[in-house]
A and B are shown apart, each in its own frame.
Chain A
């Protein structure tokens, strides 16, 4: 307590200005009046009172002051109880600040923090995505171990949220939970796996971040998403790009073979053709070469290239390191221009970029040579930038440019920044050693510097000259003499030591000077630096051996001085030298070789760049910058000798580069949303000029057509829908195959049987599809793309519908989005259960949540092409109309059944103004009509869609179809099977639901039919033909289950076909809507019994 009050005291002193400012605005301002005596306890009391006040403004003020305290690092934990009460405040401003407070102090006050949890749990179900997101953020930021299970649950639910923004937050929450409780790793990996499949550009970056943090070694999770990530990359927000690029760099290094081996010879050739970027050519060309680059490898390199143009330095650097580490050597060149651009940025950015360039320039001089002048030093650069630039200039120096560089260096040597001048001298030394042509010039230049007035410069020069002379054992007596003179003036120890060493080494070349130097040194020995003393001893020893006549006494004097030196190193050295050189009876054989030992030829030191050893760190990383391994650094592996199986990535069906969240919708929800979906927005509204990179030409063309015809997007989309079934028959089969394949991958715990089944279907994928002509795995891109396109359009529609479905929140929020994760849920007729593995996994995950319902709308298993006549051409005076049920969730309302009407003009004149006139609908029934059609050309046909809410009854909707001249009465009577929407659920849930719908709600009948009609595929075919139901995976061979819900009321409709002995079967229908149930039973029975 006392410490607390002390803290507040401090605060009142330090932060008075702001405090006062805030108080002035507060409504019940205690103000500065009691400034002098304001004890801080009182102040806190005062804050508490304000927090408990009924007025929001007072609370807000209090919270603002508290946040001010937190910001200054003052302790405000005492107020926790008072603050936490306001967590449920209606006022959004207060709420935000309370959240800020909670996140800061919850860890310290765990028990009290628990009080707030229920509020967040409620907020997690809020219809507003921003509120859901922020609730998840705060909940996951409260580092209280007790709530781990709650967090886990929230993350699971949020990861299936409809809003990508919420899913993004879920990805962030994964990391928080992981750091709080690493035990949860396995569960979290499941969520990561699911989110990795997400196609939203918002989510991608965050989930990859989570992946890197939680399980960077699970590279297998990436395979299936690799291509998608590559294609999404351009549209991901910039921070996400950095993370993804780094991850993909590591991935590429483990999955592809090195592109470096053959390169050198083929450099030019390769450059040309890659620049042309012609895929066709690439293929043919690659065949000829021994090394062929994996197309996925190429994809990554190609898709990252535009990001070199990013405004974000981190992105540019990430791409640069990707090119450096994984692209063929001939292509690395393109990064230099972009890196040089970064040099015009802030000093900190320059610092990092220059470091990386320094490392690169050691290995590849050519890359940066054209930009030599960009590395010229400006007098305003900070020293660290200057030295880095020097480093690079040195690396880039060669015979051609050295003269220019030396001139530039001359200017630097004169710089007022002496540290920099010294660095320049070292640089000159390095240039001199590297380029032998200029060694002499440099040496002369350095000697001139010896007469410089600045000591640091001179000292540095001496050191460098020493190194240079050592390399050139030629006659440099003059220089040595000159340097010997310098001993009188120079005081810097390193320089003095260097001179002494040099003289000792060359003592035979300067026989007159050397003893004299020793004499001088002997005089000043006691006052020298240790470093110098050691060299004096060395010099003495060397002279003793070569010229003992003159120096014997001097040396012994020095040895005596050394013997009593304070430094033990020097005493040691003295003892050692004495034993070695002074002959006495005890001295062993070694002293004979003393001369050889002391005056051996010494190898010249290598003047190397300090960046030489940095290249084993991945560029652009913190470890590279520090040149030590940072915590959490992930080693970049070497290329594998043999590429791992590239087909693992094939599982990914087709990349839909676009996210289909319609921008308009987002806007409606919340204006803020639109910014988060910037990229999507962009694409949506700009189809006319759509140039999303990943889109093939044909696909975007189709898309254009779809949206540019003004507001008939739904019409054309439905067109695509109908097209897709007839045209993409083959495609469907393929999808089916993939579907089953991917199922094989997933370890669905749902019963081994299913696994077995999927396995067999996997292995026999080719034979199970007799229609499938070529089962070659290489998918022709264009085909799949167009297929995906049609599918996408249909999905887009569903999506719209599902969006509106949102209101019954508990039901849908967590689940609707599943079709997002289910890339293969197209209208497909297939003999195996249509649930995708991801879906199963999802559903299992959801079982954990106690309250969550298991109903989720699935895409239809099968869409019948059967059309019904609405208006015959005879009775319609040439206008014919047919309708059919596309089995799509209706975009006009979530309780409506969508109906598509195809209008044909069979006359020889235009029919104008086709619209719907008077409606005669039974009670409660509603209808959303299509927009009037201005005119229909002769022989023309047009498909429009409308929505009818049949109120879950088979009553007829009657209305008038009118043209400019006539009106025709028409009826639509829905088959009962069309009043349903398929539902995906697990067998367990099915049984549970079924258990609740017994008695009155159950109808059943016995069917007799030939055994060949009771094969699984036939039953499935028949049932889905009649009714729009979803298939429930079944653990038993003899029981087939189907689930759906009614469109209007959303009641479950469970259909079970149980095969019995002989050729009988029991058909059971469980539903609350007994009327529809029995009608459906009646319709199903004949269909199933007939051959």
Chain B
């Protein structure tokens, strides 16, 4: 299966290599660099690259390429999924997964990799198991120790034990064309749990409206039969943070989109100035504030510079990448944030064909836009009373407005 792993940073240096079978020379990465050059953008590097004797499967995350070398037929998703799991594990161990962090913790990284694969076949990939085998580095270790220390000290006592379910709902994909009607929108959500309970608690989580959920995927601890028959999540949780459930809300229960964008972007032929204006406003938010709003847009190549004034927040325009970014912050419904100004265009160049797409990010606390509600969370199998809490949140996914 997986022969070797190379970690390559964006400038093309191999800064870590690990072999699970006999050593594969790092020159095999030359094929990768070739492909990288051809792709121009990191995102476009094909995930599967055949070379004369090996196959290179890679994922690109946190500005690092994780390149796995394999020699024989293997389901490519198997390798890709595993590489993503590696990244997740690093993130879990070190808080962030970046080149300096990996370099600083190279020994732990190496040990973790050693445990994760044996002869190229995954051995231990659950981060809680790994943490039993290899301790996270010191800073985190102290934190972990205090927590586990408490737990171990008080087995079968009613002390620190709590459950938290985080409910992220992401309307993943909205396209709004000029006419203002939604092209497509869907809600995709997850329930992340943070469980720190002693003993062997058996939890059940029920929803007020489970019918909403159209398609779900579970953490392996969830009992599938129970869900099938009763629409209840029944599980014995692993310790710590994990993703209990990801779901998709069916398209019939169509999404109320909580924001709208008004835009007026005009280029004129044979003029070196264009007008630019965007206003963002709330819509159907059930009284909750929209926070963390960031507007980004890739401007056409012809735009040389922009002089804009925001009514709130800060904006930047990168004349090289032509990326406009406006950090709006909270939306105050009384005073809608707007960004107005002019664009200076390349003189003589004709008007771009396409108006730029506007991408929007935002968050709404304490609201699940899908309307999904957790009914109750019960614990069986242990006698103490757990502390329970739930937090709802809505985040924009790939929210795009076509202009």
| Residues on A facing B (Cβ under 8 Å) | 15, 17-18, 21, 64, 67-68, 70-73, 96-97, 99-100, 104, 107, 137, 140-141, 143, 168-169, 172-173, 175-176, 179, 206, 209, 234, 237-239, 242, 246, 306, 309-314, 316-318, 337-338, 340-341, 344, 346-349, 351-353, 373-374, 376, 378-380, 382-384, 411, 414-416, 452-454, 620-623, 625-626, 628, 630-634, 663, 671-672, 675-676, 678, 681-682, 685-686, 688-689, 691, 693
Smallest Cβ distance from B320 to chain A, in angstroms? 15
- A309, B224: Cβ atoms closer than 8 Å: yes
Per the bound structure, the CA–CA distance linking A338 and B247 in Å amounts to: 11
Partner of B118, one of A72, A137, A316: A137
Q: Are A346 and B106 in contact (CB under 8 A)?
A: no
Cross-chain contact A104 with B19 (CB below 8 angstroms): yes
Task: With a 10 A CB-CB cut-off, give which of A18, A206, A663 has the most chain B CB atoms.
Answer: A18
Residues of B314-363 whose CB lies within 8 A of A: 350, 353-354, 357, 359
| Chain A residues with CB under 8 A of B19 | 104
Whether the pair B217, A620 counts as a contact (CB closer than 8 A) is: no
Smallest beta-carbon distance B28→chain A, Å: 12
Can you identify 10 A-B contacts, CB atoms within 8 angstroms? A15-B103, A72-B16, A141-B119, A313-B80, A341-B248, A344-B172, A346-B59, A352-B76, A352-B80, A623-B73
Having A71-B16, A237-B220, one finds 5 other A-B pairs with CB under 8 Å, namely A18-B106, A337-B215, A346-B80, A622-B76, A630-B50
Which of A175, A246, A384 sits near B44, CB closer than 8 Å?
A384
Q: Does B150 contact A (CB under 8 A)?
A: no
In the complex, the answer to whether A675 meets B132 with C-beta atoms within 8 Å is yes
Is the Cβ of A688 less than 8 Å from the Cβ of B218?
Answer: no
Decide: B103 and A17 in contact? CB cutoff 8 A: yes
Cβ-closest chain B residue relative to A351: B47
Across the interface, which residues of A come within 8 angstroms of B98, CB to CB?
none
Find out whether the CB atom of A352 lies under 8 angstroms from the CB atom of B224: no
Contacting pair B110 A100 (CB below 8 A): yes
| CA gap between A234 and B226 in the complex, in Å | 14
CB nearest to A341 among chain B residues: B215
| Distance (whole angstroms) from the CB of B274 to the closest CB of chain A | 16
Give complex CA distance A628, B52 in Å. Answer: 12
**Cross-interface CB contact of B75 among A242, A415, A681, cutoff 8 Å:** A242
- Give CA–CA (A349, B15) in the complex, Å: 25
Whether A453 and B353, one on each chain, are in contact in the complex, defined by CB atoms closer than 8 angstroms, is yes
B114 close to A242 (CB less than 8 A): no
B37 at the interface (CB under 8 A from A): no
Q: Which 7 A-B pairs have the closest CB atoms?
A: A632-B72, A691-B225, A675-B129, A414-B354, A348-B47, A382-B43, A239-B122
Given contacts A416-B298, A631-B73, contact A378 B220 (CB under 8 A): no
Contact A686 B236, CB 8 Å, known A141-B119, A311-B243: yes
Q: Does B256 contact A (CB under 8 A)?
A: no
B109 to chain A: closest residue by CB: A71
Shortest distance in angstroms between B398's beta carbon and chain A's nearest beta carbon?
Answer: 6
Per the CB 8 Å criterion, the residue count for chain B at the interface is 100
Determine if B140 is an interface residue (Cβ-Cβ < 8 Å): no
* Nearest chain B CB to A451 CB, angstrom units: 11
Chain B stretch 225-247: residues in CB contact (< 8 A) with chain A: 225-226, 228, 234, 236, 238, 243, 246
Instruction: Report whether B71 and A239 are in contact in the complex, using a CB–CB cutoff of 8 Å.
Output: no
Residues of B with C-beta under 8 A to A209: 1, 121
Q: Does B48 contact A (CB under 8 A)?
A: yes
Residues of chain B contacted by A168 (CB below 8 angstroms): 123
The reply to whether B132 and A671 contact each other, CB–CB distance below 8 Å, is yes
**A239–B78 contact, CB under 8 A?**
yes
1/0 per residue, CB under 8 A from A, across B54-83: the answer is: 010011110000000011111111101111
Picked from B75, B125, B300, the residue with its CB within 8 Å of the CB of A317 is B75
| B81 & A312 in contact (Cβ 8 Å cutoff) | yes
Instruction: Give CA–CA (A382, B122) in the complex, Å.
Output: 29
The DSSP consensus for interface residues of chain A is helix
Distance in Å from the Cβ of B159 to the closest Cβ of chain A? 19
CB-based A-B contact count at 8 angstroms: 250
Contact partner of A383 (CB less than 8 A), chosen from B44, B173, B248, is B44
C-alpha gap A859/B246 in the complex (Å): 47
Q: Which B residues are in CB contact (< 8 Å) with A317?
A: 75, 77
Q: Are A685 and B381 CB-contacts (below 8 A) given A137-B118, A309-B218, A622-B55?
A: yes
Question: CB-defined interface of B4-29 with A at 8 Å, one 1/0 digit per residue?
Answer: 00000000001111110111001000
Q: Are B81 and A314 neighbours in the complex by a CB distance under 8 Å?
A: yes
A416 touches B301 (CB 8 A): yes
Q: Which of A309, A631, A675 contacts B216 (CB 8 A)?
A: A309
Min C-beta distance of B42 to chain A, whole Å: 9
* Contact pick for B218, options A64, A310, A338, A454, CB 8 Å: A310
Nearest B residue to A179 by beta-carbon distance? B21
A842 smallest CB distance to B (angstroms): 24
Residues of B within 8 A of A374 (CB): 184, 186
CA distance A932 to B257 in the complex (A): 66
A342 CB to nearest B CB, Å:
8
Contact A672:B129 (CB < 8 A) given known A341-B217, A620-B77, A625-B48:
yes
Given the known interface contacts A347-B43, A352-B47, A416-B300, the answer about A689 and B223 at a Cβ–Cβ threshold of 8 Å is yes
Decide if A311 touches B220 in the complex (CB within 8 Å): yes
Residue B387, interface by CB 8 Å: no
* Chain B residues with CB below 8 A from A206, complex form: 121
For residue A169, which residues in chain B have a CB less than 8 angstroms away from its CB?
A: 118
CB neighbours of B103 from chain A (8 A): 15, 17-18
CB distance from B250 to the nearest CB of A (A): 10
B50 and A379: CB pair below 8 A?
no
Q: Is B30 interfacial (CB 8 A cutoff)?
A: no
In the complex, A14 Cα to B336 Cα: how many Å?
Answer: 52
Bound Cα distance A584, B149 (Å): 103
Per the bound structure, the CA–CA distance linking A686 and B202 in Å amounts to 7
Is B236 a contact partner of A685 (Cβ separation < 8 A)? yes
B161 within 8 A of A: no
**Smallest Cβ-Cβ distance to A386: which chain B residue:** B44
Given the interface contacts A338-B215, A625-B76, A631-B71, does A68 sit within 8 Å of B298 by beta carbon?
Answer: no
CB contacts under 8 Å to A, within B108-162, are: 109-111, 114, 118-119, 121-126, 128-129, 132-133
In the complex the two chains form, is A681's CB within 8 Å of B236's CB? yes
Which residues of chain B come closer than 8 Å to A104, judged between CB atoms? 19, 23
How far apart are B19's CB and chain A's nearest CB, in angstroms? 7
Q: Is B188 an interface residue (CB 8 A)?
A: yes
User: How far apart are the CA atoms of A172 and B78 in the complex, in Å?
Assistant: 17
Whether the pair B353, A414 counts as a contact (CB closer than 8 A) is yes
**Is B34 part of the binding interface, using a Cβ–Cβ cutoff of 8 Å?**
no
How far is A953 from B53 in the complex, measured between Cα atoms in Å? 69
A1011 CB to closest chain B CB, in angstroms? 59
A829 to B39, CA, bound (A): 72
**Is B272 in contact with chain A by the CB < 8 A criterion?**
no
Provide the residues of chain A in CB contact with B47, threshold 8 Å: 347-348, 351-352
The CA-CA distance from A141 to B20 in the complex, in Å, is 8
Which residues of chain B have C-beta atoms less than 8 A from A318's C-beta? 75
Give chain A nearest CB distance to B74 CB in angstroms: 6
**Does the CB pair B16–A376 fall under 8 Å?**
no
Question: For residue B72, which residues in chain A have a CB less than 8 angstroms away from its CB?
Answer: 630-632
Whole-angstrom CA separation of A143 from B202 in the bound complex: 46
CA distance in complex: A657, B202 (Å): 21
Q: Report if A313-B77 is in contact (Cβ < 8 Å); known contacts: A68-B107, A306-B224, A351-B47.
A: yes
Complex contact B50–A626 (CB within 8 A):
yes
Cβ of B394 within 8 Å of any chain A Cβ, yes or no, is: no
Task: Tell me whether B48 and A622 are in contact (CB under 8 A).
Answer: yes
Contacts A349-B80, A686-B236 given; does A675 touch B128 at CB 8 Å: yes
Q: Could you tell me if B119 and A73 are in contact, using CB atoms closer than 8 angstroms? A: no
Asked if B225 contacts A349 (CB within 8 A), the reply is no
A380-B118 CB under 8 A given contacts A314-B78, A347-B43, A623-B73: no
**A373 adjacent to B132 (CB under 8 Å):** no
Judge if B200 is at the interface, Cβ distance under 8 Å. Answer: yes
On whether A380 and B183 interact (CB within 8 A), knowing A351-B47, A672-B132, A686-B202, the answer reads no
Q: Is B390 an interface residue (CB 8 A)?
A: no
Residue-wise interface mask of B (355-398) relative to A, using a CB-CB cutoff of 8 A (1 in contact, 0 not)? 00101000000000000000000001100000000000000001
